[in-house]
Amino acid sequence: MLLETHRAEIETILSRYDSRRSAVLPLLYLAQDTYGYLTEAAIREVAAILGLPPTDVFEVVGFYTLFYNRPVGTWVLQVCDDVPCCYLGAEELISALKQSLGIAEEQTTSDGMFTLQRVKCLAACDRAPVLQANLDYVYDVTPERVNALLTNLRARAAEARQRGVSGRFAEDFEWGPDGALTLIDRAAPYRPRQFPAASPPAPLEPEPVPEADAGHDRPTDRKASPL
């Protein structure tokens, strides 16, 4: 029970607000990290601590994207596929991750290690393509870095299980000059990213014109409708 295992932390959280209900998000994070995901019992427990009808808490869990009411992997990989990331390699990154992990979006690997999700803007557009692993930012994740990233994350699985998926102990990462994943140096002065000078522009290829009979068979492998 949360109240027995985390009483001091819960009381600190409650003391910050003039209304107990305000503590629902931090308590759900705590419950999520304690139980791995938000089981029905965990949601009811949070409701009981706050003296709320359980439906109020179920509603909150359903509304916010960072709460999981089903089991997720040790590492939840959330890849931003928004503008501008999607034009700077996010789709290639997602393909590489799907191929390496053998899963599609919203699925978890059979060993329970990784869950893959597409998410909306992560507010790190200058470091595209970008993903979060259990809310640890990892910047500049080009497809070539996927294997190094997955190896690194697998090696830190025990640590991830201890910290949970809610980012209560999050750290941010980038790639060092030696190609290794390194913690962000927050003490360093701000420097914008610099892409290497590129070759002169290649002319755009003309639009492919569909063949006259191309519409006879609508492709079966077309992307699923987002809805």
Partner 1 sequence: MGLSEHIVMRELDVPEINDFEVYRRHGGWEAYRMALKEKNPADIVAMVKESGLRGRGGAGFPTGIKWGFLPKGVYPRYLLCNCDESEPGTFNNHQIIDRNPHQLIEGVALSAFAIECHTAYIYMRGEFAAAAITLERAIAEAYRAGFLGRNILGTGFDLDIYVHRGAGAYICGEETALMESLEGKIGQPRLKPPFPAVAGLYGKPTIINNVETLANVPRIVEKGVAWYRSHGTEKSPGTKCFSLSGHVNRPGNYELPFGVPLRELIESPEYGGGMRGGRPVKIIIPGGASAPWLTHEHLDVPLDYESVAAAGSMLGSGAVIVLDDTVKAPHVAYKMDEFFKHESCGKCTPCREGTHWLVRVLHRIAEEGHATPEDIPTLHGIYNQMAGNCFCLLGESAVMPIKSALTLFPEEFEAVVAASRRLPHGNGQRDGKSGPVIPLSARH
Residue 4 or 191 with smaller CB distance to partner 1: 191
Residue 14 or 157 with smaller CB distance to partner 1: 14
Cα–Cα distances in angstroms (integers) from residue 62 to residues 29, 54, 57, 196, in the given order: 14, 12, 9, 44
Planar angle of CA 142, 145, 150, nearest 5 degrees: 125
Q: What is the CA radius of gyration of the chain?
A: 21
Please name the amino acid found at residue 210: P
Say how far apart CA 109 and CA 160 lie, in whole Å: 16
Residue 102 or 176 with smaller CB distance to partner 1: 176
Planar angle of CA 108, 150, 133, nearest 5 degrees: 65
The three-state (H, E, C) secondary structure of 14-41, written as one string: HHCCCCHHHHHHHHHHHHHHHHCCCCHH
Residue 113 or 119 with smaller CB distance to partner 1: 119
Residue 158 or 202 with smaller CB distance to partner 1: 202
Nearest distance, CB of residue 187 and partner 1, angstroms: 4
Say how far apart CA 73 and CA 173 lie, in whole Å: 20
Nearest distance, CB of residue 5 and partner 1, angstroms: 21
Nearest distance, CB of residue 7 and partner 1, angstroms: 19
Nearest distance, CB of residue 110 and partner 1, angstroms: 26
Nearest distance, CB of residue 75 and partner 1, angstroms: 14
